[in-house]
Every structure is written in C-alpha cells, then in structure tokens.
C-alpha cells in the first residue's frame, strides 16, 4: 500500500487554551511537511500561550480569532471556515472546549464553527489529570465519540502543575498519525479490492474560455466512491470539474476532458470494480481554437464541427485481461428510461447499468436525491427515490454481495 500523505488536503486547526498549546506549532510544522494546507483558529485562552503571529508564520495563512469580525462575517466566515476544510482538528482540546462541544454551545468562533461543520472532527485533549478523569469530562468525551468525533487519547506522565497521570497532550507525531489514518483505507469486506469510479461532467473546449459541458454535479459518483471506501476497497476516483469535496480515504485524479478521463482510467487499471458514473460529453469540438472566438458585427455565427468522444464504458467493457470483474455504467435519460437503458447495457457490454430520469422536472441532475433503476442480465430493479448517499450505500452493498456473497 502506498504511503498516505496529506497532499491536497486542508486542515482547520483549532488551538484552545492550556500550556500544551505550544505543541500546536510543531503539529502545524508536521502537517505542512506532510503536504497539508493548514488554517488556524485561536481561542482567547489559547492566545494566552501562543501568539497569532507564530501560527501565521507557520501556516502561511491568516489566523482567525474573532466571531464578530466585520470583514470575515460579512461573508459568513465561520460557516466558510467550518466547511472549506477536509478535517477539523482541535489540539490541544481543553476540558472547557470539550464540554462546549458536547453541549452544542456556540459562544465564540471555535465553538461556532465546530457546531456548524459538516466535516470529520478530531480532538486531542490536554488537561490536568483530575480534570481528565472527572465524571463530567469522561461523559463529554463519550458523548463526542458516540457522535463520530475521533479522540486522540492523552499521554500519561508528569504535568506542568506538578501532578502525574493521564492528561498530557499526545505528541504531535502521534496526532499526525491519527490524522493520516483518516485517509487510510479501513479493513472491511472489500479489503484488497480495487474500485475505479468516474464522476462529474467533462468540459470539452471550444476555445480558451468556452467549453461544452452538462449539469452533472458529481455528487452521485463521489458518494459511490466514499461508500466503496467505507467497505474497505482501495478506491481511485477520476473526477471531472466538480465543486463537491473529495471523499476521505480515496485517491482522486482530476481531469477535464473525456480523452483525459479515458487515459486516467487506463492508467488506473487493473481494477476489480469499475463504476462509471461520470456524465461524459458525447462529442467534442474537432478543432478547438487557440484564441478566443471573437464576436464580429455582421459576421456569421461560427460553425462548430463536432466529433465523437471516446466511449469509456464500451472500452472498459471489452473482454480481455484488463477488464474489471464488474463493470457498471450509468444511463441518464429524459424519456423511455428503462427501454433506453436496457438497450444501452447490451450495446456497451457492461454487467450492470444504473438508469435514472434526469429531465428538469426530476431535479436529479445537480440535486441531492436520485431515483434509479438497476439493469442487470436478470432484469430490472426499481429503487425508491433516496438521497444520493443512500443510493451509493445500496449500490456498494449490491457490489459486495455480487463479489463475495456477503452483506454489509
């Protein structure tokens, strides 16, 4: 397995109060060395131990402190901060901030963004031994764990207060290891299997500023990649231009055109599973212009000569040693959905086809929900309308059953 790095990942680091706050500077150094971009939020108590200037020098980014900053909050800065990161890390996490997180309080910038975030959260507690073992702190930590917060248990040893016991902040290298684990595939029923997923649209250039595209958001493909990773598969996600965040634990290759996507798919082989969810443009401009096509008064509208794009699904479905064990395509239709999808599966040669109605009234393309039909050699399964994450989980479960006979 390749070594996990944080290249391309964005970490939001919350530094709360306590003598251990100085270790946050070393953690920033290690995160940057591993390739992460780090944005720091410093609480009022944290600023008693480390300075905004020291954090800014190491992160090379602005340090945020004030919930009521007019410049930041004019654009709802606390919401942007909470959702722009791939992972929120609280280190050190004082007893006070753990209690506020457990209670859902939001009295300052740090607690507000922690309440508003929809991203994974990791905390590294640090406090006096008696505070750490107090029933209130024990209950708060258990509450956070039950909500999916990753807790890096504190070390045991001598403390600044002169006492000895658990409560020392884990060493920055240990915290980094736990952060890296967030992107390390977990053992699961698909462990050892390689899944290849394509997602999003493609952009086919007309000239340097214009392109042919479609309304695909990439939400469904990205959700499928995340669902397969959650079952332990090693996932390569080849994504066209999208704005949805990269899933955790997934290797992402970003492309723009259909030709680039095909090339990336071929490089990613061999794979056990291929889910080609991308809405690849059927055609591209034969001769994209090097310069911008200018609109000239009285001139004729320029004619665009289109040629077919490579058929990624048909290419990957061809028999041969490189063919994945299970090839799944998508059919986005606006009429006669089932009939078109059945014909497409036979024409392309794939094993399964996921068909859906993408007419404007359906709200599927670019939306949060999907209503699909699973087309196989055995027939047609009509699935109910579900959030795209739920569709992805259901498809991943069917893939697991097909390959192993197991159910999640």
**Tell me, what's the pLDDT at 187?**
78
- 173 has pLDDT over 90: yes
Judge if 177 and 209 occupy the same domain. no
282 is in an annotated binding site: yes
79 is in an annotated binding site: no
Judge if 162 and 305 occupy the same domain. no
Q: Which of 136, 161, 173, 346 is catalytic?
A: 161
Domain final position from 181, 211, 242: 181
- 288 has pLDDT over 80: yes
Judge if 292 and 360 occupy the same domain. yes
Domain final position from 131, 151, 181: 181
**Tell me, what's the pLDDT at 407?**
80
- 400 has pLDDT over 60: yes
- Please tell me the least confidently modeled range out of 135-139, 224-228, 360-364: 360-364
**Tell me, what's the pLDDT at 306?**
96
In three-state secondary structure terms, 195 is strand
User: Is 35 among the domain residues?
Assistant: yes
330 is in an annotated binding site: yes
Tell me the mean pLDDT in the region 289-293: 93
Distances (CA, A) of 227 to 20, 237, 248, 260, 278: 37, 12, 10, 25, 16
In this structure, what CATH number is given to the domain that contains residue 394? 3.40.50.10300
Judge if 108 and 222 occupy the same domain. no
pLDDT digits (tens, 9 = 90+) for 260-285: 999 999 999 999 999 999 999 999 99
- 71 has pLDDT over 80: no
Task: List the one residue out of 252, 227, 245 whose CA is nearest residue 82.
Answer: 245
262 is in an annotated binding site: no
User: Is 4 among the domain residues?
Assistant: no
Whether 226 and 218 have beta carbons less than 8 Å apart is answered as no
Q: Residue 100 — pLDDT band, cuts 50, 70, 90?
A: very high
Q: Residue 84 — pLDDT band, cuts 50, 70, 90?
A: confident
Burial tier of 367 (Cβ tally within 10 Å: 0-12, 13-18, 19+): middle
Domain that holds residue 122: 10-181
Higher pLDDT: 380 or 82? It is: 380
User: Is 1 among the domain residues?
Assistant: no
- 76 has pLDDT over 80: no
**Tell me, what's the pLDDT at 73?**
52
Judge if 236 and 174 occupy the same domain. no
19 is in an annotated binding site: no
Domain final position from 150, 181, 212: 181
**Tell me, what's the pLDDT at 68?**
73
- Please tell me the least confidently modeled range out of 17-26, 172-181, 355-364: 355-364
**Tell me, what's the pLDDT at 382?**
95
Judge if 23 and 138 occupy the same domain. yes
Judge if 348 and 220 occupy the same domain. yes
User: Is 149 among the domain residues?
Assistant: yes
Judge if 161 and 205 occupy the same domain. no
Across the chain, mean pLDDT equals: 92
Contacts 24+ apart (CB under 8 A), 247-254: 247/222, 247/223, 248/86, 248/87, 248/120, 248/182, 248/183, 249/182, 249/183, 249/184, 249/185, 249/186, 250/225, 250/226, 252/8
Judge if 239 and 100 occupy the same domain. no
Distances (CA, A) of 406 to 185, 309, 401: 19, 38, 5
- 2 has pLDDT over 70: no
399 is in an annotated binding site: no
**Tell me, what's the pLDDT at 160?**
66
312 is in an annotated binding site: yes
**How many folded domains does the chain comprise?**
2
Higher pLDDT: 341 or 82? It is: 341
Catalytic site includes residue 161:
yes
Q: Residue 5 — pLDDT band, cuts 50, 70, 90?
A: confident
Tell me the mean pLDDT in the region 90-96: 97
pTM above 0.85, yes or no: no
**Tell me, what's the pLDDT at 1?**
42
């Amino acid at each position: 397995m390749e070594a996990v790095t944080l290249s391309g990942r964005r970490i939001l680091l919350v530094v709360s109060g306590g003598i251990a706050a100085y270790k946050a500077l070393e953690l920033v150094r290690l995160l940057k060395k591993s390739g992460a971009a780090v944005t720091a939020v410093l609480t009022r108590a944290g600023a008693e131990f480390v300075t905004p200037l020291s954090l800014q020098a190491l992160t090379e980014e602005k340090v945020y402190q004030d919930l009521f900053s007019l410049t930041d909050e004019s654009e709802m800065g606390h919401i942007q901060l909470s959702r722009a990161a791939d992972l929120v890390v609280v280190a050190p996490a004082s007893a006070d901030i753990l209690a506020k997180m457990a209670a859902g309080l939001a009295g300052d910038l740090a607690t507000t963004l922690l309440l508003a975030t929809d991203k994974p959260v990791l905390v590294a507690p640090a406090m006096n031994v008696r505070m750490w073992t107090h029933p209130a702190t024990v209950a708060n930590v258990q509450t956070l764990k039950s909500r999916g917060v990753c807790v890096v248990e504190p070390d045991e040893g001598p403390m600044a207060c002169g006492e000895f016991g658990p409560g020392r902040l884990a060493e920055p290298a240990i915290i980094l290891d736990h952060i890296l684990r967030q992107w390390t595939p977990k053992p699961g029923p698909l462990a050892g299997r390689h899944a290849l997923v394509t997602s999003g649209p493609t952009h086919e250039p007309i000239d340097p500023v214009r392109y042919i595209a479609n309304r695909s958001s990439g939400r469904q493909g990205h959700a499928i990649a995340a669902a397969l990773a959650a079952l332990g598969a090693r996932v390569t996600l080849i994504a066209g231009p999208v704005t949805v965040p990269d899933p955790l634990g997934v290797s992402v290759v970003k492309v723009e055109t259909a030709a680039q996507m095909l090339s990336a798919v071929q490089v990613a082989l061999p794979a056990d599973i291929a889910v080609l969810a991308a809405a690849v443009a059927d055609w591209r401009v034969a001769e994209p212009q090097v310069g911008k096509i200018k609109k000239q008064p009285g001139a004729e509208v320029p004619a665009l000569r289109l040629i077919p794009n490579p058929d990624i699904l048909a290419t990957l479905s061809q028999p041969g040693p490189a063919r994945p064990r299970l090839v799944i395509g998508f059919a986005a239709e606006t009429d006669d959905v089932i009939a078109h999808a059945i014909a497409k599966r036979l024409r392309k040669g794939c094993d399964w086809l996921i068909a859906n109605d993408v007419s404007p009234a359906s709200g599927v393309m670019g939306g949060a929900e999907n209503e699909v039909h699973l087309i196989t050699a055995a027939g047609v399964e009509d699935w109910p309308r579900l959030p795209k994450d739920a569709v992805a989980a259901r498809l991943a479960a069917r893939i697991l059953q097909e390959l192993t006979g197991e159910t999640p």
